[in-house]
Amino acid sequence: MALFGSQAPAPAATSTTGDLSKDVEIPKDGMATDSISDLAFSPTHDFLAMTSWDKSVTIYEVTANGPVGKWKGVCKTQQGKEEIPLCLGWSQDGTKLAVGGADGTLFYYDFAQINGNELTPTATWQAHQTGIKGIRWFVFQNTKQILITGSWDKTVKYFDLSAANPTEPMGTLQCQERVYSMDVKQNALLVIATAERHIHIVNLNDPTKIHKTITSPLKWQTRVVSCFSDATGFAVGSIEGRCAIQYVDDQNTSLNFSFKCHRQQDPTNRDIARVYSVNAISFHPTHGTFSTAGSDGTFHFWDKDAKHRLKGYPDVGGSITATAFSKDGNIFAYAVSYDWSKGYAASTPGQKLCVKLHPIIGDECKPRPGTKKR
């Protein structure tokens, strides 16, 4: 059943309804005590890093059966001030991690210089004037691992951490508005989503220039952007319960489309749909399919080329704030915590807080047979 464009969730069915019974929860001992702001798997190892509003950074070594070890630290500047981390990103060789703070502080971890299980930043510095909301890495000219940071101060900066002065940006992009989300793929494509629905597209062969700026096809505030696995385009999610598929090449604009998701039919009025924010979009590293997760507490796997939902999963009991696939795509991690979509007043004690590992079994994330890849 093709589900793109349908407001209501699909009826329960074995073929399209996913199973959560094998999902493994990371133990509460050592887990964050406040909402999870971001999480990401290492591209080279089964390490899952996460940041939390409790000011912590935690890394777990995980398998499909659960975590087998952890490293934990607190984001603390050189002046001793603790900072709320909003986002994180692994270097492509898996040896480094960067974390962005709510006041613009950048925390840099080089694992060649970290001993034991205490995460202590190798370096910290004021990278931006205000909060950092996006962190990614890419390899420039096949040699240098470059760190990219995007901020609410309306700039994106590039840092070469092997340079004599690594805290001095090697380049800066001026964006039209505050950076809300950004993503990189294949050392070629950088997509930056900002306030006021601007989307900047950057060719990383020429990283200090914005190749093209478009307006999001979605009518409401952008929440997340995520690049296709093959770097030919990207997906955008918004607060209105919609997702858009966009191709970079102007010759492929006929393939662009958007669809409704993370909406629930009002049980008392079939003409009303409750709309939830799309908080996270993650692409499978090998299949090219993708997940969406939202404030409604559900996640779904989709095949963009077939315009088809592969699996939809039941409500997990709280908003999903972040998701990630492991390096080989065998594990899907999702964080359940308050997403602040209803403001401070709705943040109450006892709300569900956990990170779960969902093993990818069978054809859950595989494209439909016969799907023509674009």
Backbone CA torsion sign across 205, 210, 211, 214: positive
Q: What is the pLDDT of residue 370?
A: 67
What is the enclosing helix (H) or strand (E) of 173? strand 171-174
User: Of 356, 358, 311, 354, whose CA–CA distance to 332 is shortest?
Assistant: 358
Residue with structure tokens 């997403």? 339
Half-sphere exposure of 362 (CA within 13 A, CB side): 8
pTM exceeding 0.95: no
Q: How far is CA 205 from CA 20, 69, 201, 271, 278, in A?
A: 42, 38, 12, 49, 31
Q: What is the pLDDT of residue 221?
A: 96
Give the residues across from 66 on adjacent strands: 63
**How do strand 320-325 and strand 331-336 relate by DSSP bridges?**
antiparallel
Backbone CA torsion sign across 47, 48, 53, 54: negative
Q: What is the pLDDT of residue 309?
A: 94
Q: What is the pLDDT of residue 371?
A: 60
Q: What is the pLDDT of residue 117?
A: 74
CA dist 13 and 237 (Å) reads 26
Q: Which residues have C-beta within 8 Å of that of residue 81, sequence separation ≥ 6?
A: none
Q: What is the pLDDT of residue 72?
A: 82
Q: What is the pLDDT of residue 70?
A: 82
CA dist 211 and 192 (Å) reads 11
pLDDT by position in tens, the chain (length 374): 233 333 334 334 357 889 999 999 998 877 889 999 999 999 999 999 999 999 999 999 987 677 777 888 888 776 677 899 999 999 999 999 999 999 999 999 998 887 767 888 999 999 999 999 999 999 998 889 999 999 999 999 999 999 999 999 999 999 999 999 999 999 999 999 999 999 999 999 999 999 999 999 999 999 999 999 999 999 999 999 999 999 999 888 889 999 999 988 777 777 778 899 999 999 999 999 999 999 999 999 999 999 999 999 999 999 999 999 999 999 999 999 988 777 776 777 778 899 999 999 988 999 987 665 55
User: Of 243, 230, 238, 248, whose CA–CA distance to 291 is shortest?
Assistant: 243
Q: What is the pLDDT of residue 10?
A: 37
What is the enclosing helix (H) or strand (E) of 290? strand 290-294
Q: What is the pLDDT of residue 278?
A: 96
CA dist 195 and 154 (Å) reads 9
